[in-house]
Amino acid sequence: MLSRIAESFFWIGRYLERADDTARILDVHLSTLVEDPSVEESAACTTILQVMGVEFEEDEEPARYDNALVLRMLGHDPDSSSSMLAALAGARESARRARETVSADVWQAINTTWHSVSSGQLQAMRPHLASRLVCERVAMISGMADGTMSHDESWQFLVLGRNIERVDMTARLLSNATLSAGASTAWSTTLRACGAHEAFMRTYRGKLAQREAAEFLLLDRLFPRSIIHALTRAEACLESLEPSGGRPHGAAGQLLGRARAELEYRPLSDILGDLAGEMERIQVRSSRASEAIAARYFPTPLALSWQAGVS
């Protein structure tokens, strides 16, 4: 297939996943500030902006970080590459580039969503409702893609992009949970930000502990947002994309496979001993895998790319 089409679908998957994850993180951040009076606003805002890779000038004072800034940078600012609005704009532009291949249902859903949010709807809505709107629209678009597209190479690239982004975002959140390990709500907040709280509580029968929460988000094979599940799914996509008789794993597959194997075959206690460092290594490998995918399948990059954090 054309490298332009392949890259477009890869970035549709990444941008939609980024919009969804950002919406969840933003919603949980605001809810936590309301529910837990012990959480200091400027510290919490500084942390979430760091997690999302938002960069400021050296002379910017963290004390000035507040919810208004977080809502703007992660919500409706078109000039912030970390915002939900920018991610949805990227998904629409990628879909436009592959318009002849994207199904009519998927294009209409993406296009309608973009026109809705670009008109100022996110800024006008209450933050919780704005986050829920983005999550629901992304879920609808993903469901349409799964149900109306042939599960051929185009769809494989979309799912590959989605899971590469999911690995990165879950690793970011786990690293942040480590930095905030002393807070009573840190792991509950992390589970909720990953959309994993209810699934975790059912799996562990209501027992919430740091070790179990980390194990669930790292190693649970049945939960689609765990790192091991996303890595395995991404590897499966790469194997499906290789021509018959070709090397099934290549550079990208080796990077993802190494990350998966180190999680699978090392004692959990070793991983948790330096969880922040382990998550940083996973982010680096997912970034390198993304670069290897680009070099292998679409060597001429699109103008759209992540500007903040690990791509």
pLDDT of residue 221 exceeding 80, the answer is yes
C-alpha to C-alpha distance for 261 and 35, rounded to whole angstroms: 38
Contact 77, 83 (CB under 8 A): yes
Lookup: tokens for 2:
């054309």
pLDDT reported for residue 185: 67
In the numeric block, which tokens belong to residue 245? 């008789």
Least confident piece of the model among 107-111, 173-177, 237-241? 173-177
Could you give phi then psi for residue 306, rounded to 5 degrees? Answer: -70, 140
Query: For residue 37, what are its two tokens?
Result: 């009076």
Judged by average pLDDT, the poorest of 3-12, 13-22, 34-43, 79-88 is 34-43
How sure is the predictor about 264, in pLDDT bands with cuts at 50, 70 and 90? very high
Contacts of 57 (CB under 8 A, 6+ apart): none
Most confident of 7-21, 41-55, 112-126, 296-310: 7-21
CA–CA separation, 43 and 65 (whole Å) = 8
Of the given ranges (81-95, 204-218, 220-234), which has the lowest mean pLDDT? 204-218
Spell out the domain ranges in the chain. 1-149, 150-300
Distance CA 298, CA 311 (A): 16
Q: Hey, is 53 helix, strand or coil?
A: coil
CA angle at 308 for the pair 302 and 311, rounded to the nearest 5°: 55
Asked whether the predicted pLDDT for residue 189 surpasses 70, the reply is: yes
**pLDDT beyond 50 at 182:** no
The answer to which of 107-111, 164-168, 301-305 has the lowest mean pLDDT is 301-305
pLDDT for the residue numbered 310: 45
